[in-house]
Every structure is written in C-alpha cells, then in structure tokens.
A and B are shown apart, each in its own frame.
Chain A
Amino acid sequence: MQLSTSIWVWIAAFLTLTIYSFLYKDNPLYRFAEHVFVGASVGWSIAIVWHMTAIPYIGIPLRDAFVQRNWPGLIYVAIPTLLGCLYFFRFFPKQSWLARWPIALMMGYYCGISISPSIETNIFTQVQGTILTGFNPTSLSSWWALLLLIGVVSTLFYFFFSLKHEGIVGKTSRLGIWFVMIAFGASFGYTVMARVSLLIGRIQFLLHDWLGILK
C-alpha cells in the first residue's frame, strides 16, 4: 500500500467518497460535493465559451475590423452580437418581446438545418437498411433480415395511433410491443453495464491512484 502524495488525487478521492456517502443517506458532505459540482461545471462552461466563442468570434473580429476600418466586417460581427444582447430584455417585462428576435434566429436556423439531414439519416438510411434486396430461403441471414423488416413494420404500427388498434392492425402492433420490450430490455442492460463500468473506474481510482493497493 502506497498512499498518493498528490493533493489533486486527494481532492478527487475526497469528492468521490462524499458522493458515495449518499448511499447511506443524504448528508451535508454530499450536499457540499453536489454544489461544488454544479458551480464548477457552470464555471468551466463559462471559461470554455469565453475562450472558444467570445474571444475568437466576437472580441478579435470586432477589434480587427475596427483597427482596419473594415466597416462591413464590423457590421457582420456586430449584428449577431447585438442580437445576442437582446436576450437581456427578458429581464424587462415591457421590452421582453425584443428577446424574441435572437430566439427566432436560433429557431429558424436549427429547424431549417435539421430537416434535410433528418430526412437522409432518420428516414432514407433506416428504410434502405430495412428493405429486403433479395430473399434466399436457404440462407439464415435472409430469414433474419425478414425478421428485421417485420420488427420495423410492427414497431411502426405500434406507434401509429391514427388507426384503431384492432384486427390485423391490433395484432401487428401487439407484435411490435414484443420487439419494443426486447429493445428496452437490451437498452436497460446496456445502461446498467455502462454505470457499472463507471463504478469500477471509480473503485480502481480509489484503490490504485489514491490508496495504492492495486498495482
């Protein structure tokens, strides 16, 4: 056993143990670590936005455009900057409608930009992957591809509420529930294992990096 001499390892170990103390019950140490996490995460985001967006996309271009008397360049950066500043009118009830302009810019951009890739990746690619291009009864993979097709169609039927789920539609949607349940089971299993692997990582950190028990 060789205890770590790094202050950073001790801080990380202390915070890890305070979070795990919640397994016993809610306690002041856990709440302390929880608030440290919230504050530090937001602080980290601010520093990242400052260095990744504010300086390279606003500060430097504005300064350069001003120094070089490049007025079109100045206007090009000033427009989104001023639009962004309009967000602050949320604090003034009478002028809060001005905040709708930058929100409109965001909504228009993201709605427009999401449609075409969504058609390609969520619709065309998925349909393309499901279509049976040739069926060979002697090949097992053909049967599995047929199962995949049946699964996709029945799942879609299950989530299609414009038709009453009775008769053939009801039977197909019921088959869809089976596929959905199996998928949810697989997703659950994966989620648990992902969390367990994080737990193993933390225990490894405590036993190896901090206490030096594991070699």
Chain B
Amino acid sequence: MFLKRTLPLLIVFLLGLAMIIQFYIPHPVSQNFYDSMAEWVRISGAFALILGLSSFFYVHTRKLARKNKDSFYSGVAILCLIGMAGIGIFGRGGINGWLFSNLYRSIIVPLDATMFSLLSFYIASAAFKAFKARNAMAFALLVTAIIVMLGRVSFGSFLDGIVEWILVYPNTAAQRGIILGIGLGMIATSLKIILGIERSYLGGGD
C-alpha cells in the first residue's frame, strides 16, 4: 500500500512544495535544484511519448488486421510515421538533413496550414447558422465580431479606431476577469494535487 499509493502522494507533496519554495530563493543551490528537476522531468517525459506511440500502433495495427476498407489508411499512417521518424533518426544530417527538412516543409507545414484554413469555411457557415440576434447580448456579440473582422481587412481601415477601442477596453476587461479566474483555478487545483486532496491522476485500483 505504501509503494502503491502513499509513495506517489509523498513524491507529489515533497516535490510540489520544493518547487514552490525554490521560486522564492534566489540562490545557486535553489537554481541547480530547479535545473536538475527540469532535466529529470524532461528525461522521464520522453518515455511518455513511447507510451503514446504504442497506443497509436495498437489502434492502427488492429484496424489493419480487420482488413476492411479503412485498413489502407492505417497502413498509410504507420508507414508515414516509420518513414518520417526513420529519416529523422537514421537519415544523413538527422533533423537538419535535406530530406527531413523537405519532408517537413512539403508535408507537415502545408497539411497543417490547410487543415486550419479549412476551418474558416466551417466557422463562417456555423456563424451564419448560429449568429442570430435573438437578444441584445447576442446582437452585441454579432456586431463586435463583424466590426473586428471588417477592421482587419484593408477596406475596413476606417474601423481601426473602434476595433482598437473594443480590443483595449471591453475585451481586455472580460479577458482579465477570465484570466484571474483561470489563475485562481490553477492555484487551487495545484494545491489540491500537492496536498493529496485530488488523486484522480493515480487512476483506479489499489
């Protein structure tokens, strides 16, 4: 029981407390401790990627084994993963190599940008369906969105002043309220975890 539950809780408590305290101690010993812990977390965190990778292979090899019309795509995903990782690790020049850089620039960058740009169509169509000025507040949201969108294009430059005002005052006011709430929430949740009140990260079982 000690090794299964108490020790992880103790690690979290002691390390959490130490990390809070070190922030307020401007001393080389404190800085070294911070650097060491950051390195440890970085090292052990790298293994979590392998855990995620095994989940990826588990899902896609199962799809491949089913031999239905989706199996081909799982094969493509696995091949691309092995190819990209293999070139990056074993290829000449590693991640700075000619092939890896070109694959990154010609596959990942355009696919990433295109995927996100695709959302502009869906956001616009969703907004068209959902943006109905049912009440004064919904109207405020609608008008603000239109003003900000128009103000960001060349023919809407006459709206620059009002866009600036919206962003600097009412927008900042609400964002600041939300940021304060997020900050308080983060502190409360972190304290709950450090003090062992929140233990869901331990998972089920003993």
Contacts and interface: CB of A to CB of B under 8 A. Distances in A.
Interface of A: 8-9, 11-13, 15-16, 19-20, 22-23, 31-51, 53-54, 57-58, 76-77, 79-81, 83-85, 87-88, 90-91, 96-97, 100-119, 121-123, 126-127, 129-130, 144, 147-156, 158-159, 176-193, 195-196, 198-199, 201-202, 205
Contacts of A9: 106
B137 interface: yes
* A45, A151, A185 — most chain B CB neighbours (10 Å): A185
Given A32-B76, A190-B148, A44 B84 contact: yes
Given A47-B95, A155-B176, A186 B167 contact: yes
Q: Which 4 pairs from chain A and chain B are nearest by CB?
A: A47-B88, A151-B173, A122-B183, A112-B19
A131 to B, nearest CB: 12
A8 B106 contact: yes
Contacts of B80: 35-36, 38-40, 43
A88 B55 CA distance: 11
Given A36-B76, A109-B41, A42 B7 contact: no
* A105, A189, A193 — most chain B CB neighbours (10 Å): A189
B170 A182 contact: yes
A43 B111 contact: no
B53 A37 contact: no
Contacts of A11: 106-107
Interface residues of B, number: 125
A185 B173 contact: no
Interface of B: 3-5, 7-9, 11-20, 23-24, 36-51, 53-54, 56, 73-74, 76-89, 94-95, 100, 102-121, 123-124, 127, 137-138, 140-149, 152-153, 165-184, 186-187, 189-191, 193-194, 201-203, 205-206
Given A15-B111, A189-B147, A84 B44 contact: yes
Contacts of B13: 108
Given A11-B106, A32-B76, A111-B194, A202 B127 contact: no
Contact of A189 (B120, B152, B177): B152
B123 A195 contact: yes
B11 A188 contact: no
* B8, B94, B127 — most chain A CB neighbours (10 Å): B8
8 contacts: A15-B111, A39-B80, A80-B44, A97-B4, A101-B11, A112-B17, A112-B20, A152-B173
B19 A183 contact: no
B12 A104 contact: yes
A37 B102 CA distance: 15
* B13, B111, B174, B205 — most chain A CB neighbours (10 Å): B174
Nearest to A117: B23
A127 B173 CA distance: 11
B113 A91 contact: no
A23 B122 CA distance: 9
B120 A196 contact: yes
Contacts of B165: 144
Contacts of B137: 177-178, 181
Contacts of B148: 185-186, 188-190, 193
A118 B23 CA distance: 12
B68 to A, nearest CB: 13
Given A35-B74, A111-B194, 10 more contacts: A13-B110, A32-B73, A88-B47, A97-B5, A104-B12, A122-B184, A154-B177, A182-B171, A185-B143, A189-B146
